Amino acid sequence: MTVLRDREAGVCLHLTSLPGPHGIGTLGEPARRYIDAMRVMGLRVWQFLPIGPTGFGDSPYQSKSVYAGNPLLIALESLLQQGLVTAAEVSVLESLPRGSVSFERLIPLKSQVLARAGERFAQIASASRQSARDDFVATHDSAWLHDYALFEVLKDMHQQRAWLEWEPAYALRDPDALCALETAARAEIETVKSLQFIFFEQWNDLKAYAADHGVRLMGDVPIYVALDSADAWARRDLICLDDAGMPTEVAGVPPDYFSADGQLWGNPLYRWDRHAGDGFAWWISRLRHMLQLVDLIRLDHFRGFEAYWAIPADAQTAREGQWRPGPGAALFDALRCALGELPIVAEDLGVITPAVESLRERCGFPGMKVLQFMVGEDDFEPSSIPEDCVCYTGTHDNDTARGWFFGEAAEQRSPEAIADMRANVLRATGGQSLSVHVDLVRLAFATPARLVVAPLQDYLGLDSSGRLNVPGTATNNWRWRVMDDQISTDVCASVEKLVADSDRDGTAG
C-alpha cells in the first residue's frame, strides 16, 4: 500500500528560506502565513530539509545531532511575548539581510539572544511550562538530550573545535570528567535543554497549524551522521573510527550528474554489523523520533542501504571509493516491526541498480523522479513516470528550472548538446523558453505520479540567483530566502489554476 495519496501537489522550501525580520526563517508567524498561502494554492505537502542544528558549512546535511532541533529556527516573537528576551536584545538582528541568510553574522548574534532566553526560562517561566519542560527532559534525556547538551557545552568550551580536538578526557568521554562537567556547567547544560524544549514546543504548534489547514509535513532523514556531532561522539561504537577517533573510510558517491569526481561527503560510515547485533535499536529510536514530527519522510540516499560507496579517508576525490554491502531489508523489517507501516519516500537518485530497485519495491516505498534529469533526453515521455512516486521539477541540489534551462557553465556541455537539450525540453513541455518554469511544473502535474513537488523557486520563476545548494561545494550555500512580497496574490492564483487544471487537489485520496 502506497504512503502517498492520489494526485497531490506540494512544494519544497527549507525553513531557513522563509521570510521574516531576524535574519533567518523561523517557526513563527511567517511559517503560518506560508501555510495559508499553500492552502490558497492547493498545495497539500510541504517538504523541507533536515531541521537539526547545523555544523560545518551550515549544511542541514551535516547536523550536530539527528535528534535536536536547530535553535536558530526558534521564533523570537513568542519569546518577546513571554518576557524571555527584550526588544533591545532582539534589535541587534534587525540589520541582518532579509533576502539571504548571513550565517557568519547571524550565528553569534542570535546565539547570544537565545542563551539569554534559555537562562531566563528557569527564572520566569510559569509553573505549568516549567513542568512541561521537565516532562520533555525526562522523556528525551537518556535517549539523546543529555549527550547533546554536553556536546554543545563542550563545543563552547573548546571554541567550537571538533570533538576530536578536545581535551582527551572529554573527547573519550571519561566518566569522571563528564561528571565534573555536569556539576560545573549545570546552568549551561540546562539552558541547552530549555532551548530544545522551546524549539519542539514551537514545532508542535506549527505542525498542528499545518494539520488544521490540510497541509502534511515532509521531513528529510539523511543516511549518515556528521563526524563532528553528538551522535558520533556519544556512540563511537556504531561508526567506523580508529583508536584515535578518526574515520578510516568516509561516505560519498561516485562520479555522477553533479560532479565528474563524485561527491566526497566525509561522513563516517556505520558498523552495520553492530547495528544489526542489537536489532537496529539506534535506527528505530531515530525514526520513531522523526515520525512524531512529520507526516512523511524523505529517506536520503536510499541506495546506500543496499550498497554504499566507501572512500579512503585520505582520498582527494570520491573516485577512489568502492561499493560495500549495506544492511538491506533487515533494517527496514526491524523498523516496520517496531514502528508499523513507514511513511517513507526513498530518495533513489544516482547510480541505481536492479538490487536497489528490488529493495525499494520489497519495502513498498515510493521513489523519486526528477524532470531535470529526464526531460532533456530525446526519448522522454511523461507516461514513463510511474504512479507510485514523487515527481520533482528539481530538488534542493538542482539549479532552478530557469537557471537550469538557460545556464551553460553548470552542465559543462557543448553548445550543440545544450541546444538539443533545450529543443527536447520545449518539445516535451509544448511551451516556450520564457515560460519554461511554468511549463515544467505543468508537465510534472500531468504525469501519473501521485505526488508532484516543485521547489518554491520554480513556482516563482526565479533564475540561478534562487539556487539553494551546489553539490560538491562548501561555501555560499543554504543562504537563499524568499521575500514576503514574492508570494503574491497573482502567484497564488497562477499555482492554484495549475493545480485545478491538473486535478491535483488531493480530494481523490
Q: Which of 441, 413, 415 lies closest to 429 in space, CA to CA? A: 441
Residue by residue, pLDDT tens for the chain (509 residues) are: 578 999 999 999 999 999 999 999 999 999 999 999 999 999 999 999 999 999 888 999 999 999 999 999 999 999 999 999 999 999 999 999 999 999 999 999 999 999 999 999 999 999 999 999 999 999 999 999 999 999 999 999 999 999 999 999 999 999 999 999 999 999 999 999 999 999 999 999 999 999 999 999 999 999 999 999 999 999 999 999 998 889 989 999 998 776 788 889 999 999 999 999 999 999 999 999 999 999 999 999 999 999 999 999 999 999 999 999 999 999 999 999 999 999 999 999 988 999 999 999 999 999 999 999 999 999 999 999 999 999 999 999 999 999 999 986 445 678 898 999 999 999 999 989 999 999 999 999 999 999 999 999 999 999 999 999 998 788 899 999 999 999 999 999 999 999 999 999 866 54
268 bridge partner residues: 250
* φ and ψ of 449, to 5 deg: -50, 135
Catalytic residue among 201, 300, 320, 505: 300
DSSP one-letter string for 67-135: SS--GGG--HHHHHHTTSS-HHHHGGGTTS-SSB--HHHHHHHHHHHHHHHHHHHHHHS-HHHHHHHHH
CA distance 209 to 200: 14
Q: Is 249 a catalytic residue?
A: no
Catalytic residue among 8, 188, 249, 347: 347
Catalytic residue among 147, 188, 397, 439: 397
Q: Which amino acid is at 211?
A: A
Q: Is 408 a catalytic residue?
A: no
CA distance 285 to 334: 11
**CA atoms within a 13 Å half-sphere pointing along the CA-CB vector of 142:** 3
Q: Is 387 a catalytic residue?
A: no
Task: Report in angstroms the alpha-carbon separations of 304 from 62, 289, 353.
Answer: 17, 21, 11
Sign of CA dihedral 315, 319, 325, 327: positive
CA distance 45 to 5: 10
CA distance 239 to 233: 10
| pTM, 2 dp | 0.96
Grid coordinates of 395: 530538488
Q: 125 — alpha (psi -120 to 50), left (phi > 0) or beta?
A: beta
**CA atoms within a 13 Å half-sphere pointing along the CA-CB vector of 285:** 16
CA distance 99 to 481: 5
Task: Report in angstroms the alpha-carbon separations of 179 from 73, 98, 165, 170.
Answer: 31, 43, 20, 11
